[in-house]
Amino acid sequence: MQKLFLFLLLFLPLAAKCGRTAGERGEPVARVYNNYLYRHELAGIFPANISPADSAKLAMNYIDKWIRNQLFLKLAEENLPPAEKNLDKQIADYRASLMIHKYQRHLIGQKLDSMITLREIEEYHDAFGSNFILDRPAIRGVFIKVFSDAPNKERITEMFGYDDDMVQLESYGNRYGVTFYNFSDTWVYADDIVREFPPGSVAAGRLPASTGYLTATDENFYYFLGVFEYKPSKSVMPLSLAAQKIKSIILNRRKMQFLNELEKSVFTEGLNKNAIQYF
């Protein structure tokens, strides 16, 4: 395949000079009946920093796809009834829809306020929180992974569970922890933390349903998970987990409102300019 591509690159320019001229379109790299694919049409298909070998493969795939499309197009033109080949209206409608869509996106990017405050998210969650349901358990807590010979690791369980001792626990985790997550003020999915334990050592069903902790060991490490609060699946999703979904909903609502107001504004402007007439 790469040899064929090199053939196209090296031989066709000579062939174009010795035989049929390519004209203003440049040098062709493929032909199907009377349709030609030109070298300059391949220029935009190559990503930056692509290797010569990958360039050759990508170019040949593109050429092969173009050839197959041209062959099918020829069959369609020869065999479809005339009424089904008249695509002028569909093409015009598609072009109009595409132009309108691009212009709307341009205006949205320029003028839509995409900043969403925490207060807006909280208010939406308060009003519609029951629409966001956990599909798996979530927890608040702390996770520490230390080497097996870490000093005073047995005191981790003593430090856990007391608000005034969280400073000590965080200090210990930052100093000795190979991995340390303090998610006491936010919610995470329980299985994301369980994956930090040695495979098979902890099942999600073993997580404390309220305040509690789990530990595990292997040849090299000691693992500790302290749970301050637990929410089972099918319960209302906490704000921190629902926030991104709520942002998307609020932003989409703003877009719809913006487009509705834009449509009314455009229509009013058309009326004021006497650009609209009903017959």
pLDDT in tens, 235-258: 999 999 999 999 999 999 999 999
pLDDT confidence of residue 138: 93
Closest CA to 3 of 45, 49, 57, 42: 57
Q: Is the pLDDT confidence value at 12 over 60?
A: no
Dist. CA 173–CA 168, nearest whole Å: 9
Instruction: Tell me how far CA of residue 216 lies from CA of 51, 151, 197, 209, in angstroms.
Output: 48, 17, 7, 18
Cβ–Cβ < 8 Å for 59, 7: no
pLDDT band at 165 (very low <50, low <70, confident <90, very high): low
pLDDT confidence of residue 205: 54
pLDDT confidence of residue 13: 45
pLDDT in tens, 188-199: 999 899 888 988
Q: Is the pLDDT confidence value at 28 over 80?
A: yes
Domains by residue range for the chain, with CATH: 2-86 (no CATH), 134-231 (3.10.50)
Distant-in-sequence, close-in-space partners of 13: CB < 8 Å, separation ≥ 6: 27
pLDDT, mean of residues 209-236 = 88
Q: Is the pLDDT confidence value at 106 over 70?
A: yes
Least confident of 27-31, 202-206, 256-260: 202-206
pLDDT band at 17 (very low <50, low <70, confident <90, very high): very low
pLDDT confidence of residue 262: 92
């072009």: which residue's tokens? 95
Q: Is the pLDDT confidence value at 184 over 80?
A: yes
Mean pLDDT of the chain: 85
Q: Is the pLDDT confidence value at 72 over 90?
A: yes
Most confident residue range from 74-88, 198-212, 239-253: 239-253
pLDDT, mean of residues 137-148 = 92
pLDDT confidence of residue 169: 85
pLDDT band at 21 (very low <50, low <70, confident <90, very high): very low
pLDDT confidence of residue 170: 86
Dist. CA 5–CA 193, nearest whole Å: 51
Q: What is the DSSP string of the chain?
A: -HHHHHHHHHHHHHHHHHSS--GGG--EEEEETTEEEEGGGGGGGPPTT--HHHHHHHHHHHHHHHHHHHHHHHHHHHHS-HHHH--HHHHHHHHHHHHHHHHHHHHHHHH------HHHHHHHHHHHGGG-B-SS-EEEEEEEEEETT-TTGGGHHHHTT-GGGHHHHHHHHHHH-SEEEEEEEEEEEHHHHHTTSPTTS--GGGS-SSSEEEEEE-SSEEEEEEEEEEE-TTSBPPHHHHHHHHHHHHHHHHHHHHHHHHHHHHHHHHHHTT-----
pLDDT confidence of residue 3: 47
Burial (0-12, 13-18, 19+ Cβ within 10 Å), 49: exposed
Q: Regarding predicted confidence, which is higher, 253 or 163? A: 253
pLDDT confidence of residue 19: 38
